[in-house]
Amino acid sequence: MRIGITCYPTYGGSGVVATELGIELAALGHDVHFISYSQPFRLSGRDEGITYHEVPVSSYPLFEFPPYDLALASRMAEVAEFCSLDLLHVHYAIPHSVSALLARQMLAARGRKLPFVTTLHGTDITLVGLDRSYLPITRFAIQESDGVTSISDYLRAETVKHFDVTRPIEVIPNFVNCNVYKPYGDEGKRSEARLRLAAPGEAILMHLSNFRAVKRVVDVVKIFAQVVREVPAQLVLVGDGPERSAAEWLARDLGIQCHVHFLGKQERVHELLPLADLMLMPSELESFGLAALEAMACKVPAIATRVGGVPELIDDGVTGLLYEVGDVEAMAAGAVGLLKDRGRFEQMRATGRQTAQERFCSSLVVPHYVRFYEQVLAGA
């Protein structure tokens, strides 16, 4: 198939999933075309079977805001015609579904069919889409999609509840390539690599996100401040965003800045995660919890919150530990207890890896997307 993919190319879950999906589809022999305002950060630019098409946005004095959604729709239609795309797959409803709908209508006027699939990822439904100024157009674009998928049962239920969507929504969970995200095969090499981040005998706690308020990065620092009183440890934060400054200042105020390392955005996350002992994910809301899945595949249990779709991923007490939002003391105590109970810790590491392989590996999930595309094309 010839598939066009549109996503936000920035450091966020929806863009990561869309990019990894494109890479996996290309590896299966499909012709993949990314259409966005910049190249997704996880693309190397040399991926076989993948082409990137930039969306140019003109700026005129008349426009207070550049009309990206219209430029995107026009570019989608152009790429679809020029590259003979079979369908579009857009990630994040706003504005990508609306742009795909316009592109489909533009081509239909010329006698060409271009079905599109919308994947709902989270805040496009639970936050942005619920804004009254966006809700009607978001609902309309979802209803008019040729196929709709959701990354969790939780998000599907929220979409039906708040948007009164009547069309079927297929749940296809996020995934991880278990051949890329994996633990070190040689414990000696892992110990040597860990020396870049921690001294021998120190635990490494890690957080990975886009540092938005919903990720509660400040809670990450608070949790770690309590952990480091009980266990020799270092905290590694991967990513960047609006809450970074607050987290940095808190680390200084608590006197633990020498134990806290902000690495910024990293392209080779799969090389960092296997070095960690625990993943901290105290989010206000997660529709799935991709960072926790990537960590689990690397044998790194997550200390997370019992919100959204996270319980669909993490089996509390088996593959990770779940707590209420904001319960810093309990999360810190859970992390300390797990680090001190090596038998339970090792069992959780192994079970997490097994769960990732058996339920969320790309070799299982990506074919689900392919089958869904085929159903959409047959219906179109």
> Looking at the domain assignment, is residue 77 inside a domain?
yes
Render pLDDT for 162-199 as a digit per residue (tens, 0 to 9). 888 888 999 999 999 999 999 988 788 888 889 899 99
pLDDT tens digits, 336-373: 999 999 999 999 999 999 999 999 999 999 999 999 99
351 shares a domain with 303: yes
Distance, in Å, from the CA atom of 204 to the CA atom of 277, rounded to the nearest integer, reads: 5
C-alpha closest to that of 312 among 293, 333, 327: 293
Q: What are the tens digits of pLDDT across the range 122-163?
A: 876 766 555 677 788 888 999 999 999 999 999 999 999 888
pLDDT, mean of residues 52-57 = 92
Q: Are 235 and 196 in contact (CB under 8 A)?
A: no
226 sits in which H/E element: helix 217-230
pLDDT reported for residue 333 = 98
Contact 18, 91 (CB under 8 A): yes
Domain count, the chain: 2
For residues 215 and 326, membership in a common domain is answered with: yes
One domain, residues 160 and 210: no
- Grade residue 58 by pLDDT with cuts at 50, 70 and 90: confident
CA–CA separation, 207 and 221 (whole Å):
10
Q: How far apart are CA 339 and CA 321, in angstroms?
A: 12
Mean pLDDT across 208-237? 96
Q: Which domain holds residue 353?
A: 187-359
Report the SS3 class of residue 364. Answer: helix
| The pLDDT value given to residue 46 | 65
- What pLDDT sits at residue 185? 82
> Does 293 reside within a domain?
yes
pLDDT at 43 (0 to 100):
80
Looking at the fold, whether 255 and 354 belong to one and the same domain comes out as: yes
pLDDT in tens, 271-318: 999 999 999 999 999 999 999 999 999 999 999 999 999 999 999 999
Structural domain contains residue 299: yes
Residues 72 and 203 occupy one common structural domain = no
> What is the DSSP-derived secondary structure letter of residue 360?
S
**Is 43 within the bounds of a domain?**
yes
Q: Mark whether 191 and 159 lie in a shared domain.
A: no
Same domain, 164 and 214: no
Q: What are phi and psi of 70, to 5 degrees?
A: -75, -40
161 in the same domain as 93: yes
Kindly state whether residue 154 falls inside one of the protein's structural domains.
yes
Q: Is residue 68 part of a domain?
A: yes
Q: Is residue 149 in a domain?
A: yes
- Residue 353 sits in the same domain as residue 365: no
Same-domain check for residues 165 and 197: no
Distance CA 49, CA 189 (A): 34
161 and 196 in a single domain? The answer is no
Tokens of 245: 């400054």
Residue 326 lies in a domain: yes
Instruction: Output the domain CATH number for residue 32.
Output: 3.40.50.2000
Predicted TM-score of the model (pTM):
0.91
Q: Using CA atoms, how far apart are residues 351 and 125, in angstroms rounded to an integer?
A: 32
Helix H, strand E, coil C: the string for 132-190 is CCCHHHHHHHHHHCCEEEECCHHHHHHHHHHHCCCCCCEECCCCECCCCCCCCCCHHHH
Same domain flag for 18 and 135: yes
